[in-house]
């Protein structure tokens, strides 16, 4: 059989040769580094025989984090099965930062930290045995018999098509239902840590029973694991729920689970972020709209939300008719577009909206500002001609690049293409749309990763994956090309030939949601926001309140006149306590005023995070902080 390599060269091998042997024929070092392979576009275990002519791409440790962690989820399950023979298992995928497995350990059993330590010990014992991962093909009937004592696996198997070949993976005496691939053996799984356990509804449905989800992470090298665990410790210190309380940004009340209350300081932060959003979008020629928070059921039937999203919507009756609070802004934006006649010369039309939406999230999924039941999407809906897609998306990418750089957030782009089965529209249209998004990335000078089949049913999309200061990945920005709603709402424009034509629609969000983005920024900056964004930018501290209050108040008023956000600390406390308190509140600048400062009309200036104190005139300090605010400096 002929094997073709990524550089286009090819070589003949005996039928049934596996990827490890192919790698060895190139070099022993490559074989040693290889973990799995991509054969004819499909992932293959390193020792799985190849039976026909194929293209091959060998994947080394650098590209195999997902495979390593999925394999470790199997290691976890095998250890749990040893310790809890009656356990049943849901699913155990790899995730962005490791893996998890959903488990029902048995009646009345609830995993504790002590249990996790015992499970880890058993995992290490199994890993040390260097057990190979063996791929087994079986039938649906045989799989149902094999997993007859596990109702969750039975349910997954029954959902598969009749006659389909089912794959299992075995290491030692443990067998699991799995598509693979896996690392060659358990010896690769030495450097892992179980991080926590939580509840999770079976298949994510709150109507189903709750399983216990054990999270973990695995690395090829011990050093990488230790660095990650250090990051986790730092993240705990930066938890936005903890900092939100300490910095008095927001609160959640028992009277409104999942509905955040913005406190005065948090409101300043939020409005500053919104003002920045309006400023950059005004410059980019967006028009701004506001659509109603509640609209008639008929609209949601046209959009498809009533049929496909009803269980997540809050509803009410008005004048004996069904209404729903909007879970998305898109239908309202479409009605605004339809309100007037548009010419091809008017396009693109960019409609921006900071729209408050409500979604009924499961109570167990709520998490500070990261998962809430009402949030403000920084939405925009862009209506354009097909020939404008590349230039418009390229312009959007440059805007996203500018905004994320402002917050010192790096990112990469992923292009999600047409789902294999469930999609609408013509194949030709999808190909054009996908190519347009790819060309837009190239035009903007940005690399991208392709996620085959991960697009929405109505069109392909670009997702922007942000990386924060603690090396976490966040899905925030998105650009979605929609081929569904323009058709459903029958929107048109008058073409150059005088005929009505269907515009292309782009959905795009930059922050994703104001609430979640503030949560991300709080943890990214550890609560020490850049000067321009900080709720309180300056804390003015008199050495002696009685002697220095007049000068402090004078400085305070001068800063307020310049739209700088100061606070005075006139409490009858020790100076060291007040300075320490300002540091704890992470206020960017502390100005200490004593006899010397009053006499020379100066300020003793200390920046957060620095032990250095500078003597500056009032005008020098104002010039310095105004420059930081104007240039949006993040340090």
pLDDT digits (tens, 9 = 90+) for 340-354: 999 999 999 999 999
Annotation says 33 is catalytic: no
Whose CA is closest to 178, among 72, 20, 58? 72
Are 212 and 284 members of one domain? no
Among 72, 178, 218, 330, the one annotated catalytic: 330
Does residue 181 have a cis bond before it (omega within 30 degrees)? yes
Query: Is residue 509 a contact partner of residue 521, using CB atoms and an 8 Å limit?
Result: no
Name 217's Cβ contacts closer than 8 Å, sequence gap at least 6.
69, 97, 98, 99, 192, 193, 195, 225, 228
Cα distance between residue 183 and residue 189, in whole Å: 9
pLDDT score at 458: 80
Among 238, 270, 359, 508, the one annotated catalytic: 359
Are 98 and 233 members of one domain? yes
Residue 491 lies in a domain: yes
Are 119 and 217 members of one domain? yes
**Is the pLDDT at 207 greater than 90, yes or no?**
no
Angle in degrees, CA 238, 244, 245, rounded to 5: 110
What pTM, to 2 d.p., does this model score?
0.81
Annotation says 379 is catalytic: yes
Query: Is residue 75 a contact partner of residue 186, using CB atoms and an 8 Å limit?
Result: yes
pLDDT score at 634: 78
Are 576 and 457 members of one domain? no
pLDDT score at 161: 86
Annotation says 401 is catalytic: no
- The pLDDT tens digits of the residues spanning 362-414 come to 777 789 999 999 999 999 999 999 899 999 999 999 999 999 999 999 999 99
Average pLDDT over residues 461-474: 89
- pLDDT greater at residue 505 or residue 206: 505
Are 75 and 118 members of one domain? yes
* Residue 140, SS3 per DSSP: helix
Rounded to an integer, what is the distance from CA 237 to the centroid of its chain?
20
**Is the pLDDT at 286 greater than 80, yes or no?**
yes
- pLDDT greater at residue 433 or residue 268: 268
CATH number of the CATH domain containing 112: 3.30.980.10
User: Directed axis angle between helix 113-127 and helix 65-83, to 10°?
Assistant: 110
Annotation says 18 is catalytic: no
Direct distance between the N- and C-terminal alpha carbons of the chain, in angstroms, rounded to an integer: 59
Angle in degrees, CA 450, 465, 358, rounded to 5: 110
Of the candidates 61, 84, 104, which is a domain's last residue?
A: 61
**Residue 425: Cβ within 10 Å count:** 16
CATH number of the CATH domain containing 38: 3.10.20.30
Adjacent-strand bridge partners of 475: 465
Total domains in the chain come to 4
- The pLDDT tens digits of the residues spanning 493-512 come to 999 999 999 999 999 999 99
Are 47 and 78 members of one domain? no
Burial (CB count <10 Å: 0-12, 13-18, 19+), residue 83: middle
Cα distance between residue 244 and residue 516, in whole Å: 13
pLDDT score at 313: 92
Cα distance between residue 293 and residue 519, in whole Å: 24
Query: Is residue 308 a contact partner of residue 488, using CB atoms and an 8 Å limit?
Result: no
Of the candidates 500, 524, 548, which is a domain's last residue?
A: 524
Query: Is residue 260 a contact partner of residue 372, using CB atoms and an 8 Å limit?
Result: yes
Among 153, 193, 507, 607, the one annotated catalytic: 507
Among 104, 212, 377, 537, the one annotated catalytic: 377
Residue 243 lies in a domain: no
**Is the pLDDT at 472 greater than 90, yes or no?**
no
- The pLDDT tens digits of the residues spanning 289-327 come to 999 999 999 999 998 888 888 889 999 999 999 999 999
Which residue segment(s) compose the domain that 613 sits in?
538-630
Q: Give the up-direction half-sphere exposure of residue 260: CA atoms within 13 A in the CB hemisphere.
A: 30
Are 111 and 206 members of one domain? yes
Residue 574 lies in a domain: yes
Cα distance between residue 434 and residue 420, in whole Å: 14
Are 468 and 545 members of one domain? no
Among 193, 358, 381, 585, the one annotated catalytic: 381
Point out the least confidently predicted range of 92-101, 111-120, 204-213.
204-213
| Residue 104 pLDDT grade (very low, low, confident, very high; cuts 50, 70, 90) | very high
Residue 302 lies in a domain: no
Are 492 and 583 members of one domain? no
| Residue 609 pLDDT grade (very low, low, confident, very high; cuts 50, 70, 90) | confident
Angle in degrees, CA 251, 256, 257, rounded to 5: 80
Annotation says 70 is catalytic: no
pLDDT score at 318: 95
Query: Is residue 84 a contact partner of residue 56, using CB atoms and an 8 Å limit?
Result: no
Q: Give the up-direction half-sphere exposure of residue 48: CA atoms within 13 A in the CB hemisphere.
A: 25
Whose CA is closest to 352, among 375, 377, 335, 331? 377
Annotation says 377 is catalytic: yes
Are 40 and 95 members of one domain? no
Whose CA is closest to 194, among 224, 211, 215? 215
Cα distance between residue 195 and residue 18, in whole Å: 36
Residue 75 lies in a domain: yes
**Is the pLDDT at 205 greater than 80, yes or no?**
no
* Both tokens assigned to 84: 């809890």
Annotation says 342 is catalytic: no
Among 446, 461, 565, 578, the one annotated catalytic: 461
Whose CA is closest to 479, among 541, 575, 397, 404? 397
Residue 253 lies in a domain: no
**Residue 502: Cβ within 10 Å count:** 15
Residue 184 lies in a domain: yes
Q: Where are the alpha helices (DSSP H) in 304-426?
A: 305-308, 330-338, 389-406
Are 74 and 214 members of one domain? yes
| Residue 196 pLDDT grade (very low, low, confident, very high; cuts 50, 70, 90) | very high
Are 17 and 80 members of one domain? no
Cα distance between residue 43 and residue 57, in whole Å: 9
Among 102, 150, 379, 482, the one annotated catalytic: 379
CATH number of the CATH domain containing 465: 3.30.930.10
Residue 119 lies in a domain: yes
- pLDDT greater at residue 96 or residue 389: 389
pLDDT score at 239: 92
**Is the pLDDT at 55 greater than 80, yes or no?**
yes
Locate tokens 């799989």: which residue?
A: 143
pLDDT score at 59: 95
């Amino acid at each position: 059989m002929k094997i073709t390599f990524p550089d286009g060269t090819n070589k003949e091998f005996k039928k049934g040769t596996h990827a490890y042997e192919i790698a060895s024929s190139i070099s022993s070092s490559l074989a040693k580094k290889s973990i799995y392979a991509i054969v004819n576009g499909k992932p293959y275990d390193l020792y799985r025989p190849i039976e026909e002519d194929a293209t091959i791409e060998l994947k080394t440790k650098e590209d195999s984090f997902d495979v390593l962690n999925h394999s470790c989820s199997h290691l976890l399950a095998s250890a749990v099965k040893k310790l809890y023979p009656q356990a049943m298992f849901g699913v155990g995928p790899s995730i962005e930062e490791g893996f998890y497995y959903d488990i029902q350990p048995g009646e009345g059993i609830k995993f504790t930290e002590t249990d996790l330590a015992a499970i880890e010990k058993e995992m290490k014992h199994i890993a040390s045995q260097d057990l190979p991962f063996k791929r087994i093909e079986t039938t649906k009937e045989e799989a149902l018999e094999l997993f007859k004592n596990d109702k969750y696996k039975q349910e997954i198997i029954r959902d598969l098509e009749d006659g389909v070949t089912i794959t299992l993976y075995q290491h030692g005496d443990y067998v699991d239902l799995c598509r693979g691939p896996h690392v060659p053996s358990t010896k690769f799984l030495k450097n892992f840590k179980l991080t926590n356990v939580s509840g999770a509804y079976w298949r994510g449905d709150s109507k189903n029973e709750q399983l216990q989800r054990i999270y973990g992470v695995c690395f090829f090298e011990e050093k990488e694991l230790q660095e990650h665990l250090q990051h986790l410790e730092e993240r705990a210190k930066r938890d936005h729920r903890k900092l939100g309380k300490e910095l008095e940004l927001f609160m959640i009340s028992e009277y409104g689970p999942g509905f955040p209350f913005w406190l005065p300081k948090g409101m300043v932060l939020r409005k500053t972020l919104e003002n920045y959003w309006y400023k950059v979008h005004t410059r980019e020629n967006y028009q701004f709209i506001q659509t109603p928070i509640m609209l008639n059921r008929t609209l949601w039937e046209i959009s498809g939300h009533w049929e496909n999203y009803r269980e997540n919507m809050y509803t009410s009756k008005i004048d004996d008719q069904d209404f729903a609070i909007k879970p998305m802004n898109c239908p309202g934006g479409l009605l605004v577009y339809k309100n007037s006649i548009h010419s091809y010369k008017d396009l693109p039309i960019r409609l921006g909206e900071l729209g408050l939406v409500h979604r009924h999230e499961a109570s167990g999924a709520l998490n500070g500002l990261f998962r809430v039941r009402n949030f403000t999407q920084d939405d925009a809906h862009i209506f354009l001609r097909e020939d404008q897609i590349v230039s418009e998306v390229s312009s959007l990418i440059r805007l996203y690049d500018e905004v994320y750089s402002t917050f010192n957030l790096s990112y990469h782009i992923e292009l999600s293409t047409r789902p294999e089965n469930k999609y609408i529209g013509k194949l030709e249209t999808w190909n054009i749309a996908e190519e347009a998004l790819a060309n837009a990335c190239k035009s903007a000078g940005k690399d991208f990763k392709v996620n085959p089949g991960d697009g929405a049913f109505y069109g392909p999309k670009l997702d922007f994956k942000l990386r924060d200061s603690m090396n976490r990945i966040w899905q925030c920005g998105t650009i979605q090309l929609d081929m569904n709603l323009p058709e459903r709402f029958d929107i048109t424009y008058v073409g150059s030939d005088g005929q009505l034509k269907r515009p292309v629609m782009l959905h795009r969000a930059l922050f994703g949601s104001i609430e979640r983005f503030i949560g991300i920024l709080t943890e990214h900056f550890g609560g020490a926001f850049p000067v321009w964004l900080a709720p309180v930018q300056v804390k003015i501290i008199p050495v002696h309140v009685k002697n220095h209050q007049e000068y402090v108040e004078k400085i305070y008023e001068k800063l307020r006149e310049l739209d700088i956000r100061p606070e005075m600390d006139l409490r009858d406390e020790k100076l060291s306590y007040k300075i320490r308190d300002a540091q704890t509140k992470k206020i960017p600048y502390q100005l200490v005023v004593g006899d010397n400062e009053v006499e020379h009309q100066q300020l003793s200036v200390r920046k957060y995070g620095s032990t250095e104190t500078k003597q500056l005139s009032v005008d020098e300090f104002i010039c310095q902080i105004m420059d930081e605010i104007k240039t949006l400096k993040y340090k």
